[in-house]
Each structure stands twice: as structure tokens, then as C-alpha cells.
Amino acid sequence: MNHLNERQKTLLMLIIRDYIDSAQPVGSKRLAEHYHINLSPATIRNEMAALTEMGYLRQPHTSAGRVPTEEGYRYFVSEMMQSAELPETVQHTISHQFYQSRPELDQWMTLAASILAAQSQAVSVVAAPHVETTKFKHVELISTQGRQVLMVLVMVGGEVSQQILTLAEPVPQERLSQTAARLNGLLAGLTAQAISSLTARPDPLDQDILLLITQDMRRIANQSSGEIYTDGLTNVLAEPEFSESDEARRALKIFEEPATLQDLLARTTSNSNVGALQVLIGGEGAYDDLRQCSMVIARYGVPGMATGALGVLGPMRMAYSRTIPTVRFVAGLLSDLVNDNISGE
Amino acid sequence: MNHLNERQKTLLMLIIRDYIDSAQPVGSKRLAEHYHINLSPATIRNEMAALTEMGYLRQPHTSAGRVPTEEGYRYFVSEMMQSAELPETVQHTISHQFYQSRPELDQWMTLAASILAAQSQAVSVVAAPHVETTKFKHVELISTQGRQVLMVLVMVGGEVSQQILTLAEPVPQERLSQTAARLNGLLAGLTAQAISSLTARPDPLDQDILLLITQDMRRIANQSSGEIYTDGLTNVLAEPEFSESDEARRALKIFEEPATLQDLLARTTSNSNVGALQVLIGGEGAYDDLRQCSMVIARYGVPGMATGALGVLGPMRMAYSRTIPTVRFVAGLLSDLVNDNISGE
DNA sequence: TTTAGCACTCTCTACGTGAGAGTGCCAACC
DNA sequence: GGTTGGCACTCTCACGTAGAGAGTGCTAAA
């Protein structure tokens, strides 16, 4: 497959780099002038013809310069993948921002999305970590007003779910506390499945709450991944390939349907490990509306405990050399944070 | 000011209605043909000249039809404001969706944003209700892992804040529970200010937690309004006036800066009452990037207790007759929900 | 007061033309 | 044999022009 000689390789890389910068088909003359390769335009033309023949480049029309094909981008990315590292100063700036923010998941996710979008000048997506094993730890029942009760559910991993219930009739705080205490003793460390196979409780209130707890735990476990954070939606509107707004609209529409997005993140990363980067070029056949786009995706977190996904979506002509190391770095950072959080520092 | 005769009035309304539908300058001939007014194009031309003179219409160029001015839209909106009512079937559908969703603020906000966007075919913004008086109700301290402790804070209004603390050294759950119980007895019903003026607690753990509680309460009180939810961002890209993507980009950029958006919602609605609708046409001088846009905004909630804001942003040529009643209806609905929530049904 | 008619203006589209950029190929060169 | 200069060819893009179409304002008549 890799039947490119050194010169073809350098030329292909140069062409793609130039096209990513300029968004314009690159011709032999331009290439010879701008980069000091000791080759005449004619020689370059010959090589270009070969690269076109091999499927790495194509011409928009007979008398235009060359534009990378999807295959070309794939080659470019795989060649560049190892070498790319984020400058240390940038790494420090980013780390700094994380360790200075309030230590809340919400803040981290927003920050990660914002950094990814700013660095890549494209749209970022961050899915909150999904706790993979939900075990009951603690429940609190707090009477708020009249028949309304606040139920706070804490999982073993530290995940919290809160919900306001409306009971059939007012129940004093004291009785709520007793119920909570009984359930805490009974359910500690159990999974939703284990809880639902328990025999019914004698006290009807206990039984009702128990039912709600299992429902809530199931809901948390069923979420294929956590909440979705995005940023940089307008970045992509500036790109020339999206100047006819309909193209852009179709791509951005993906972001208005969290289900689709979660699906995309989940599907494309289920077979990859934490730490490994995935680059999908040209929608990779999965979504028609993303045929003009590429995604750089990574999983983060602690496998078996809590993992999430994050990525950047942009035009196929995206600044991979910037985006790839950024995604990798931020994924690593979030993995560390999740790890710290789970293991109790 | 209102020196329009009946005929001018109907014509102006027709012209604006037509322009909102077609996005094209409307001419005298088209008007005479499409709507059965018993007037010749020539007569209509005369009236149009008058309306142009008065500042309600303008011509993009000498030989084009007429387009409404900002003043024209204002007249249109104020005329239409009272009459507009959402069809009962739509009202029912919307209510139904609300009462069927899970009774959580988060769900309601998302739903409200989604409904507003769908009905208006524009961008929606919903700011979560801001509790105006934060009084302490309850605190829970739950040991999660090692030195990490989950603090759940409940306010009198039912608002909840949770936070993960990392203590200097592990503390057993029992001691945490005792601390929580002491503080619950001490702080019940107090504001942040009242709490901070208490004398120091003898137990250092009590004192630390107390400090964190006041900090958290202050933070909640200081948020000028709650979280922002939006939907329908791509709707606006379909509008012809935003076909040059730069115009659209500038307007949508507003939505990437929550601060600006909150500012906008807060400023423009601070002088209006709950229930009253505000229609800002052409950015109303406030934001340059919104010069081509209009907003329909309303406050909702229970004054003095918890209020929020919601609205729709679209091109000046937005479907006011659909948007205005929708915004009014959804604001009413959310007010009811907030009210139910506060008063305990 | 309303209407018909008319000259005028402006935009939009289509069309043709020429410049420019880039190619492929061929023959010459090292 | 790989490399290069030259040349004919192709295609796009920008520009200018012309004609159609839509709409206007004005005037004079009903």
C-alpha cells in the first residue's frame, strides 16, 4: 500500500499542508516557488500526476491545481500522528486553566470544550464521563415544602442524582429520615439489579422510595454517556467550504440532537481504548451530513470505572497538526482528573 | 403619532405580513393581485408613498418594492400584540409535554427552549429561574471516598447545590453526620449574611463547613440569573438574510458567550414585570451584532421569590404572529411551574 | 379621489470575451 | 533515465454589455 517514494511523500505532505492553510487548489508552480524544493514545476507535475493516479489527490477540474482526497488526508494524518506534540507553553497554559477552575465536573467539561474549540478553530464536543458500575451508597430524603420531598441519591463512585418527589400526602421529616436510614442500611453497595430482586418492604413508604431509587439508578446506568458539552459552533461558519450556509446548517444540525451526537461518539469509540485517538475523515460513511467533515475523537477516563469521550468536528480541511495533539492532551488531562476524583487523590 | 387612516393601516399590515412570508420587497401590483382589496395598483402606490414618507416603509432601491423599516415592524407588533393567541390545540400539546416530562428544572428548561425554537423557527434562549432570597434549609455531608466529602446544600425555596470537598484528612461518616446535624439546627432559615455574622464555632470542622456554606450561598445569590439554555441555532441559518454567513456568524456569536447573553436578558427585562412581553426590534441600539435581529423576551416566575427570563431571537423579519403568543404562553406555563414548586402545590 | 397610461430607473440574468492559471505532453538536456 | 523548458489546450473567473422584468412616480382623465 505504502508505495510512495520519499519525494512523493514530501510533496504530498506539502500540498496538503498548503491546502489546509489556503483552502485553494495548489498548483505545481506555486509549490515550486513557495517552498524551496530544488525541483522544476514540470517535475512536480509529473509527481502530482502519479499521486493523483494513486488516489491521494484529485483535480476539481482539468485546469485547476490539486486538492487532497479523503485517502490523501488519511495518509497525511497517519504520517503526522506520532510527531505532533503540543508546545510546552500551551500545555502549561491549558493545565493551569484546569487546576485553577472550580473542581466541578460541570466546570471541567465546559472548560475542555472551550479549549478544544479555541485551539482547533472548529466545533468541540465533550461527553461527561459515564460511570460504568452504579452501586448504591446513600440516600437522603429532605422535606422541602408541603408534599414535596427532595431525594438525593449518591452512588459508590461519587455520582449524585437529585430529584423532587411529590407524595400523596405530607410526611414529617422525622419519618423520612427513618425511611432513609433503613434503606441506607439495607441497600449499601448493591446494584440496581440486586435491589430490584429484594422482597417487598413492609412499610409502604419504604417500598415506594425503593422503587424510585431503582428507577433512578437504571436511568443513570442506561445513559450511554453523560451530558454533552459543545463550543465553537460559529467557528465553522467562517470556513469557506461552508459559505453556502446550507452545507453548514446540515452539519451543525447534528449538534442540536444530543441523541445523534451521543450515538456518534459512542459508536465510533466503542472499539477504541482510552488514550487512543481516532480520526474520522469525510464522515467515514456513517453520516451523510458529515461527508464534508472530519472528526478527531478520543476516549478519556479510567476504563471499567468511568469513561467519557471528547472530540473536535471541523471541515475535512481542518488543522490536524493543531487539533490532534490538543485532543490528545486534553483527553489525558481529563483522564488524570477523573482518576484523581475516583481514587480520592 | 398614530396618524394612519384605516386603509393605510390595513395596507401596512398586509405589506409586512407578505414580506415576512416571502422575504422579498413587495410591490403594488403583487399586493393588488394576491389580496382582494378593491384598489388599483396606482392607488396602492400612492398610499405606499405616504407610508414611506412617514417612515414605516423604505425602498432598497428606486425601482424595487417596499420593505418595512424598524418603525414599521414596531407598528406591526404593537397592533398585533393583543389579538395574537396561540390555537388551543397547540396550547394543549405544549402543556401536555410539560406535565409529562420529568419534574426537574433541567428538563423544563430544555423543553421550553426546544418548544420556543420549534414554534418560532428561530433561536430560543431560556434562563433558569434565579432565586432571589436564598435561605438555608438543610445540609448533608456524605463521605464518598478517602478524604472526599459530598456536601449537599438545600435552600428554603427548594434549590439544591452540591459540591465535592477534599478534607485535609479522612473524617468518619459519623462525625460528618454530627456536624451536619449541629449546623442544621443552627442555621435553619438564615440568609448568607446572617450566617456569616455568627460567632465562630468551637469545632474546627464545623467552622470550615460553615464557611463553605456561606460561600456557596453567596455564589448562588450572585448569579445574576441561572444557567442558559438555547435551541434552534441552525434555524436562523436557513433565513435568506443570513445567507452570507458572516452576518449569521456575528449574531450567533452572542450565544457562545453566556455572559453577554445573560447581560442582555437581564438588562432588557429588568424594567419589565413578569407577564409583560418585550419586543426589541433591530437590536434597539444595544448590540451592533444584532442590528439585523429582533428579540421577543418575557420574564417568568414569581416576583420576589424566583424569576427567570426567556425569549426568541430571530431576523427582524421573524414570524411575530407565531412567536409572540408562544413566548407569552410558555412564560405563563413556566411561571405556573415555578409557583407550584415554591408553594408546594 | 381614483384610475389608466407611460416614461423612467434599477436589478438580474444571460452571454460573450479575454486574462490567468494550470495541466499534459513532447522533445531536449544532463 | 530522470529532469526540464516549451507549448498547445482547457477551464474558471472577472468584466462588460444588452435585454427582460418589475416597480415606481407623475400626469391627465374619469
Any atom of strand C under 7 A from CB of A226?
no
pLDDT at A45: 94
For residue A48, which phi and psi values (nearest 5 degrees)? -60, -40
The strands making up B160-166's β-sheet, listed across from edge to edge, are: B136-145, B148-155, B160-166
Instruction: Please list the rounded mean pLDDT of every run of 10 residues in chain B (345 residues).
Output: 82 95 92 85 93 94 92 94 89 94 85 96 91 81 80 79 84 88 90 87 91 86 73 86 75 83 74 78 79 91 84 94 96 91 57
Q: At what angle do helices A105-120 and A320-343 cross, to 10 degrees?
A: 170
How far separated are the first and last CA of chain A, in Å rounded? 47
D28 C1' to B42 CA distance, Å: 14
C20 C1' to B226 CA distance, Å: 58
Looking at the partner chain, which of B142, B234, B244 has a beta carbon nearest the beta carbon of A154? B142
User: Which of chain B's residues have a Cβ under 8 Å away from the Cβ of A245?
Assistant: 237-238, 242-243, 245, 248
Q: Quick one: which of A180, A141, A167, A162 has its CA closest to B344? A: A167
D2 C1' to A43 CA distance, Å: 9
Suggest the residue from B160, B252, B339 to mutate for an interface test with chain A (most A CBs closer than 10 A): B160
pLDDT at A54: 93
Give the protein-side footprint of strand D (Cβ within 7 Å). A 38-40, 42-43, 46, 61-64; B 25-30, 41-42, 45, 48-49, 52, 59, 62-66
In this prediction the pTM is 0.82
Task: Annotate A247-268 with DSSP letters as a single string.
Answer: HHHHHHHGGG-HHHHHHHHHHH
Q: Chain B closest CA to A44's CA: distance in Å?
A: 37
Looking at the partner chain, which of B162, B248, B341 has a beta carbon nearest the beta carbon of A160? B162
pLDDT at A27: 92
The chain B residue lying nearest A343, using CA atoms, is: B145
Q: What is the pLDDT of residues A205-252, one digit of tens each?
A: 999 999 999 988 888 776 655 688 999 988 888 888 777 667 778 888
Per the structure, the residue whose CA is closest to nucleotide C9 at C1' is B63
- CA-to-CA separations, B324 to A37, B86, B91, B254, B279, in angstroms, rounded: 64, 9, 13, 22, 8
